[in-house]
Amino acid sequence: MGLLEKLGWRRPVAVLGLPLRESDSGRWIRIGGGLRYNRDMSATDIYETCDRAFRAWRLNPFVKRLTEMWVNFVVGAGLTFTANDERVQAVLDDFVKRNKLNLRMKKRAREAFLFGELICAPNVNVATGHTRLAFLDPLQVSKIELDPFDGDNPVAIVVSGQDGQALSLPIVREDLASAAALRIPELYGAKRPGGFNAPLLTLGRKVGRAFYLAFNSIVGSTRGTSDLLTILDWCAGTEDLLWEFRARAESQNRLFGVITIKGATPAQLRKYRDKDSAEYIPPPGTEKEAWAYANENITFAFVNPQLGASDIAEAIRLFKSMIEIGGGPPEHYLGQAKEMTYASAQDASNPFLQQIRSGQQEFTEFWLEIAQYVVDQKLIFTNELDGITDLTVAVKAPEVVPEDAKYKAELANQFTQVVVAWRANNWVTDEQAIDLMHQIAQAAGMKVKVVEQIIGPVAAQQNWAREALRRISNPESNTRLQQ
């Protein structure tokens, strides 16, 4: 018996195994009850945060750089949806094509990074089982409802409709008690086609009306927050500092002049420089220059301001350091690493890449759940996938760590020398040595010119090396090796 049961509280039977919403909980409470703290931002703060992030992405080069860097690492050329069964794969391919995910995936990743949330409301065609995705602006969400017994488990998203009425969208979950028709009758209250008025089979399938991804959420908070929240002010401050420096540079380059009028009194000088006075003396040149009026008794000294390039560089470096601390990227990602070596750059990148991998994992799992949902809707509403035993699907993201061509070439060179030594000692035959060379080149993804540089000297003396180089240079020779 759990703690809640010992206290006399029992979960209502009516939920039939589906997660509760707070509005359904009645007198059921969380552990801690009245001690719950609400760490969510207010609606005004959420609007301001989202608006600032969007405007900064459009106008601030630092925010633009950080956002697109995250998007390109996490998504790259796009996510790959795969299945073990051909018919399931066809369903996924059709889903990707219908929703134009190849074109829109970076947009979705960008929204997730800028706003800290990604909210998807799928639309299912009950006649065909096709799923179309609609994405909501975080500003449309008025509340995220949690399971009363699990503060980390969101169960519904409350959005404001066009008529001002609140609409609660159950978050997609596995139906553990065939209760989807009761909880979501507008979608799952229909009958299975060809099933003689039989109810839809939803047991064990993913059912619901929304998907929710939240970054940086903690206990007591139902909403996600962007990684940009801690550095927006510093990014704006850096830009302001650079604009101020630009203005100072323009002032330094301006031309100043003095018009000296002998014997003129201060009162006469005022008349001479007053454009509305009949005694006005216009200065030579254009209005871009600044002019002063003086007599022989009044001396004007113009000082050429020293901007101090080293001072502004140090200030910018300090601001960038705060961006690096708050955002995570090492200094060479923001264009300042004069004394950084190749090895130290690799070491400095590792923590940041781990941070990127964490975000990529959350983003990929969000899409994996959508892919599973897509397949389950086909199973619920149609007979297309009947009889399939392997419904496994996967979503693969690109590797976060970029390929190090220099390292791979060095490694391939070392393996090549090993093969040469083996052949020289007759430990392998000519054909075996050729195949080993071929595999090394393929694994390293080396271009023909690089291969020629590595085994060219050997090929000049050994027939087997010449044959290996010929096969590597000929794309058609890959067939036998792959077989």
pLDDT tens digits, residue range 218-237?
877 888 888 888 888 878 88
Q: What is the mean pLDDT of residues 427-443?
A: 75
Residues 6+ apart with CB under 8 A from 460: none
Give the pLDDT score at 478. Answer: 46
| Range from 8-17, 113-122, 160-169, 421-430 that averages highest in pLDDT | 113-122
| 107-121, 171-185, 407-421, range with the lowest pLDDT | 407-421
Map residue 79 onto helix, strand or coil.
coil
- The residues with which 144 forms a beta bridge, in sequence order, are 157
CB 226 within 8 A of CB 116: yes
Rounded to whole angstroms, the Cα distance separating 353 from 359 reads 10
Residues 6+ apart with CB under 8 A from 147: 19, 20, 153, 154, 155
The amino acid at residue 57 is W
The whole model's pTM is what? 0.68
Q: What is the mean pLDDT of residues 352-368?
A: 88
Other CB atoms within 10 Å distance of the CB of residue 219: 9
pLDDT in tens, 262-276: 777 778 778 777 878
Give the pLDDT score at 3. Answer: 38
* Token reading at 41: 């931002």
Number of H helices, E strands in the chain: 16, 12
More confident residue, 8 or 314: 314
More confident residue, 331 or 470: 470
Give the pLDDT score at 447. Answer: 59
Map residue 446 onto helix, strand or coil.
coil
CB 478 within 8 A of CB 439: no
pLDDT in tens, 39-48: 778 888 888 8
Give the pLDDT score at 5. Answer: 44
pLDDT in tens, 85-133: 999 999 999 999 999 999 999 999 999 999 999 999 999 998 899 999 9
* Token reading at 305: 């301001």
Residue 285 has pLDDT above 70, yes or no: no
- Of 114, 119, 117, residue with least CA distance to 157: 119
Residue 151 has pLDDT above 70, yes or no: yes
DSSP state letters, 117-167: EEEEEEEE-TTT--EEEEEE-GGGEEEEEEETTEEEEEEEEEEE-TTS-EE
Other CB atoms within 10 Å distance of the CB of residue 187: 22
Give the pLDDT score at 483. Answer: 35
CB 199 within 8 A of CB 192: yes
Cα separations (Å) of 89 from 96, 198, 266, 360, 385?
A: 11, 28, 90, 23, 11
CB 121 within 8 A of CB 135: yes
Give the pLDDT score at 117. Answer: 94
**92 class by beta-carbon count within 10 Å (0-12 exposed, 13-18 middle, 19+ buried):** buried
pLDDT in tens, 47-79: 888 898 899 899 888 889 889 988 988 898 889
121 phi and psi angles, rounded to 5 deg: -120, 100
Give the pLDDT score at 402. Answer: 53
More confident residue, 421 or 35: 421
Percent of the chain whose pLDDT exceeds 90 = 24
Q: Report the chain's mean pLDDT, rounded to a whole number.
A: 75
